[in-house]
Amino acid sequence: MIREFRLPDLGEGLTESEILSWRVAEGQSVTLNQVIAEVETAKAVVELPSPFEGVVARLHESVGSVVEVGSPIISFDVADPAGTSVPAGTAPVEDAPRRQPTLVGYGAEPDKAGRPARRPRPGLSAQPAPASPVPPVPAPAPAPVPVAPDAVAAGNVEVMPDRPRSTPPVRKLARDLGIDLAGISGSGPEGRILRADVEAAIGSRDDPGMQAGAQPVVADAPHLGQGREERVPIAGIRKHTAAAMVASAFTAPHATVFLTVDVTPSMNLLEKLRARKEYDGVRLTPLVLAAKAVCLALRRHPGLNARWDEAAREIIRYRYVNLGIAAATPRGLMVPNIKDAQELGLRELALAISDLARTAREGRTPPAALSGGTVSISNVGVFGVDAGTPILNPGEAVILALGAVRNQPWEYEGGIALRQVTTLSLSFDHRLVDGAEGAAFLRDIGDVLGEPAMVLAMD
C-alpha cells in the first residue's frame, strides 16, 4: 500500500521547514528509522527518520523547497500488516492506531490495542496473530498517487503528470533565477534538463533582442552571481532572522546604555585559571566571565529577567536564566540558549558555551535550544567591534553586547597606565525596564568584570 509521510511539527510550533538534502531516492528500499532527509527549521538542521519500512515511491519535494508542516514530502510503498505486498494504489486500512513521530525516530507499528508490536528476537519464532473475528471495513479509495515504475507497470494506479526531469541542484538553480522548468526543453539523456539549459534560458529571458520562441545563441553561458545583479531568495535562516528582528524592533521600545570598563583584573584572572589543572581543555574567554556576571547581576535585578505579555496584559518574571549566546555560523546568526545557566559554575558555564558554539557551527542545534531564552549576550568583540546597539530577541527584556578588549591609556591609581579596556552595551525593553534599572544592572556587570572579587560583596 502507498503511505504518505507529511512534514511533522519538529517542535515549538514551527510552521515550515526547508529541504536541505534527500538521503534516499525513488525506488530505494528503506528501513524503519533510517534517515531519509535533512531539513532546516528555525535555524536548526534536523534529520528526519523514516516512519515506514518499504520502498520510496515518490519524493514530493525537491532540495531547497520550503514546505509547510502537514504537507506530504515522501510516499512509501509498504507491505500490509500481514506482511504481504499490497498492489500500489490500493486503499490502506486506517482502523489500526498509527505510530507517532518523534525527533529521534518512530516506534514499531502498534497492535490494535495501541501497544507497540515487538519484533521477534533472533532464534525465536513469533506467535501467529489470532484471526480477527470481524472483517475490516474497507476504507474509501484515496486520490491517485504517483508511484514507482513497477507499480505503474502493474496497471493498477493512475499516473499523474511528471514534473520536468532534472536534478535537485538544477531545480534549485531554476527556482533561484525565477525560471519555469516546464517551459524548457532538456538537452540531456531522455530529455533531462541540464544546468546549461537553465543558463541558456536566462540568456533568452534577459536579451531584449531575442524573439519569442527563438533559440538563444550563448557563447559563454552566464553563471549565477555574474552580471550586474543577483537575486537571492529570502529563505532559511535569513528569513527567520528577519522576521524575528522586525517583530522585536517594532514591538518593544528599545533603549541602550553604554559602559566602558577596565577589565585588566578579569583578564589576569583568566590567565591564572588557565594554569589550573581543573581548567585543562576548557576554553576561558571574556565571554565566559561576562556570562557569569550577567547571571550574578540578575540576582540583584530580577525585574530584568522578564517578558511583556501583551495579550494577557501581564509581566512574566522568570525565576531561572536561559542564557542566549549569539553565534555567527556558516548558515547565519543563531541565538541558542543555555538552560538554567544560573545554576552553573564558571567551569560548567565555559563548557556549555563551547558546546553551544560548536553545535551551532555544525548545524546541529536542536529547535528546543533556540527557544525559551530569557536574556542574551552578543559578543561583537570577536569581530573587532567596540560597541553597538543590539536588537532584543523577541520575548526578552535585555541583551548585552560585549565589545573588543583593547590596550588603552587609562587612569589608574592616580596616574595614566596602559590597561585592558572594553565597552559594554545594554539594550532593554523600555516597557519593562526604566533607565535607572538598566543603568544599575549594567553597572553591576561592569563591577564584576572590573574587579571579580566584587562578587563577594554582591547579595
Q: Catalytic annotation on 254?
A: no
Strands 398-402 and 375-378: parallel
Could you tell me the three cell numbers for 393?
Answer: 530577541
Domains and CATH numbers, the chain: 243-457 (3.30.559.10)
Q: What is the Cα 438 distance to its own chain's centre?
A: 31
The active-site residue out of 223, 240, 301, 430 is 430
> Cα-flanking dihedrals φ and ψ of residue 151, to 5°?
-70, -35
What confidence score (pLDDT) does residue 81 get?
62
Could you tell me the three cell numbers for 455?
Answer: 562578587
Could you tell me the three cell numbers for 323?
Answer: 542564557
CA distance 68 to 247: 21
Q: Which residues contact 342 (CB under 8 A, 6 or more apart)?
A: 295, 298, 299, 320, 321
Q: How many residues does the structure list for the chain?
A: 459
What confidence score (pLDDT) does residue 204 get?
52
How many C-beta atoms lie closer than 10 Å to residue 147's C-beta? 27
User: Could you list the pLDDT tens digit for every one of the 459 residues in the chain?
Assistant: 899 999 987 765 567 888 989 999 999 999 999 999 988 876 577 889 999 999 999 999 999 888 888 899 999 999 876 554 444 333 443 443 444 444 444 544 555 554 444 444 444 444 444 444 444 444 444 444 444 444 433 433 333 345 566 766 677 677 767 777 877 888 877 777 887 777 777 655 444 443 333 333 333 444 444 678 888 777 766 677 777 778 787 788 899 999 999 999 999 999 999 999 999 999 999 999 999 999 999 999 999 999 999 888 899 999 999 999 998 887 778 899 999 999 999 999 999 999 999 998 888 888 888 889 999 999 999 999 999 999 998 889 999 999 999 999 999 999 999 999 999 999 999 999 999 999 999 999 999 999 998 888 876
CA distance 330 to 15: 23
Radius of gyration of the chain (CA): 29
Strand, helix or coil for residue 311: coil
What confidence score (pLDDT) does residue 239 get?
74
What confidence score (pLDDT) does residue 282 get?
94
Type of residue at 55: V
What confidence score (pLDDT) does residue 432 get?
92
What confidence score (pLDDT) does residue 139 get?
44
Q: What is the Cα 345 distance to its own chain's centre?
A: 28
